[in-house]
Structure 1
């Protein structure tokens, strides 16, 4: 009985702490796009006060992002903490000259931090032991390479470090990593905003703003690929450069899977038609 009361007291303290935090950040003034540009310029000159202001002005968005990952193994407070780590990193790296709003850039860093924590802690419970060891090894190698290279490693670099076949490594990651999004960073690009969305047509000229609304809507790749055959899935992965692979054209994909260029195009078209049946795949209509 005493243990139950202690647990309840602890839970109440957590709730009170979270309530105070949410109340505190709700009082922070929002900033304009012009403010973001000015703050980013100051941050590049080493102004820590500017960095603090840019970060605190966007703490509410981190909470919004974190809530989407509740029920996956970590409490909301931990998800928010991890998201804040990503927000701080984004503030340090934000390039205001590219014309994007800060939050459109920061959303990847926020999610990356949250997803890394979920992969490291929550998913270990659900994976069989051999897959736990495999994913643990991949995550550890990725972190070491990122520290040494001061950037995210490419799939090729990761495969070389692990002494694994690149294609087999890509397949393993594809089968086991369940949390991946179309606006997640594609390793090996020249810029931090190198995402799948950048490979999609942009008819209205709004760049990533066309896809990232107020809630920064994202699309779960696994759900889009779920109903595809293994061959269709492979073609889509190679075509869009998913899971760290470089996007390939029809000829390269055809050589990879030992089919003709035309047959590869037909399978790709059929796969995208299947994906379009999902409400979340409407943006692929121009590819079919």
Structure 2
């Protein structure tokens, strides 16, 4: 027994953590290396943990971490279904393992493997929630619980179903009740999380596509153009031109030209029809309709010039 213990201790002592780093992208080599590392006995584990706790012995901490790297690899495999790189999951799990080693108390009567399991899962969970989608889907305790259980429970419902409705994607009312009861969450939380998981990220402003055409996204119907600063300035300028500007431009005309413009363009009858026609104004002033048209054109040009100066 002592010979085996001494051999394991010697093996861990000569292991250089950096030597475990495989060539870039060679994850299988890393997994193979950590699986070859010897595991610690209870006596070794307590010895190294006390050295770390009492003397801040970093070498002892390294031995505790190295001997449990295979645990991180094993736990990380359970989360491959979320579409995130296995190497990243292992990396985050290793962070959780190091946190566990730092806080581990050998006098509590618990093996490090049991204590570290919580910390490894917690770091992996946090990484998945932050990186599974651009928009975080779970923030509350109930939402996090549903995020990591809803899909597996949903698959369980499907496997138990014997009717013809086995291919439906949404949960039934009874299944929602069962899930809410088993996870101790509200029914509304279950339905909301199912909606979030069934959807996907949509770019607010997709920009131009590969063929050069502008993409269409929520920004097209979510933006409030009425309160956009540039639009508000332009609207104010139009209002000013339509009131004070028009009044200023009319003031530059003689009485006859002004009346012709007002009667033709600025007056509306009670029935919704426009003002006087060219022939009506020609009868009033005793000239031809063509002459009225010429006066109108000249007045419009004069007003346009006045509006440009006013603006």
Q: TM-score, normalised by structure 1?
A: 0.44
Q: Identify the structure with bigger relative contact order (alpha carbons < 8 Å, sequence gap 6+).
A: 1
Q: TM-score, with normalisation over the residues of structure 2?
A: 0.41
Q: Radius of gyration: which is bigger?
A: 2
